[in-house]
Structure 1
Amino acid sequence: MRGLHTDTGYLLYRLGLRSGQLFNAFLQESGLRLRHYALLRFLATSEGALQRELSSRLGYDPSAIVGLVDDLERLGFVERRPSPDDRRSRIVVLTADGRAFLRDTDEAGRRVTNELLEPLGATERDALHALLQRVAEAGLD
């Protein structure tokens, strides 16, 4: 089974697909998808963000961000507030309910990651994470 499995890019693509499938399956009962979860996770690390910033940071089309924020706002997980720098702009902020949702999903998220990385030992997982983080951060410059 050589061929595609010798291509690192393809392996990363397949791993990404599998990871997305597992995360979407665990999120399904909440009615959310991985894109919602990623947006919430990003907001958990900030004091809020403009929708256009969310689009560029997450790599999603701006029109998709509007729908994701609408969904999360309906659930009470985020809210739009006037930007302190520009009253015409809105920043998206994680609410207490959004933080609670993330806390409630932490264990399920760990289970998904553990299932995905089951063939690796703890040291290998740490090394993989560090390498992927380095590659991802280089791509954000």
Structure 2
Amino acid sequence: MPEATDSMMAAHASTDLARLWDTVVGGDLAFVMARANAISVGSANAALATHGLKVRSYSVLALAAAGTRPTQKELSEFLKLDPSQIVSLIDQLETRELVRREPNPSDRRVNVVVVTEAGRALYEQAREATQVAERSAFAALSADDLTTLASLVRTIANSTD
């Protein structure tokens, strides 16, 4: 990837970090995506803190609230988290009575995760908070650019399934 663009430099010219954007790292797509992700996740975690959630626990709650009845294995694969992390996240949400595990009707050896009434209510509040945080974190982008970015990132994220 080429060196950082002039617009990137202009956006960061007022900071002491501007000189770092003019390096190979500043133009490295993996670094830039990781940095943007850190900004986005940090913003979302701050918004979710008042609800006692973080991005990972919110993701599990949101998938359960979507009515998809995901298995723990599906959650692990979809969220790209170790199965033990998924178990811990579900345990935390279950302790708060936000989700529960139920046997999968098609394979009773496997549990699915379903949202409780309290979980759905919390999810709706948390979703509003994440939307506000997302608008703030991506405020530098136009609506069209944000739509394009979301489509491109989703293509990358979905390409390994």
List aligned pairs for 1:1-141, cutoff 5 A: 1-3=21-23, 4-140=25-161
Structure that is richer in helix per residue: 1
Shift of 1:43: 2.3
Moved more, 120-129 or 44-53: 44-53
SS of equivalent residue, structure 1 residue 60? coil
Query: Could you tell me how far apart the structure 2 residues matched to 1:45 and 1:30 are?
Result: 19
Q: TM-score, normalised by structure 2?
A: 0.80
User: Counterpart amino acid of 2:74?
Assistant: E
Shift of 1:54: 1.1
Percent of residue pairs bearing the same amino acid type: 33
Shift of 1:63: 0.7
Query: Could you tell me how far apart the structure 2 residues matched to 1:5 and 1:38 are?
Result: 30
CA RMSD of aligned residues (A): 1.5
Q: TM-score, normalised by structure 1?
A: 0.90
SS of equivalent residue, structure 2 residue 101? strand
Cα pair distance change 1:130/1:75, threshold 3 Å: same
Residues 7-64 of structure 1, C-alpha deviations (whole Å, 9 max, x = no match): 1111100011111111111111222211101112222334312212211111111111
Shift of 1:111: 1.3
Unaligned segments of structure 1, at least 5 residues: none
Assess if the C-alpha contact under 8 Å between 2:70 and 2:113 holds in 1: yes
Query: Could you tell me how far apart the structure 2 residues matched to 1:90 and 1:5 are?
Result: 44
Query: Could you tell me how far apart the structure 2 residues matched to 1:98 and 1:42 are?
Result: 11
Unaligned segments of structure 2, at least 5 residues: 1-20
Count of equivalent residues: 140
Q: Which has the larger radius of gyration?
A: 2
User: Counterpart amino acid of 2:126?
Assistant: T
Residues 39-90 of structure 1, C-alpha deviations (whole Å, 9 max, x = no match): 1222233431221221111111111111100111111211111121222322
**Which residue number corresponds to residue 16 of structure 2?**
none
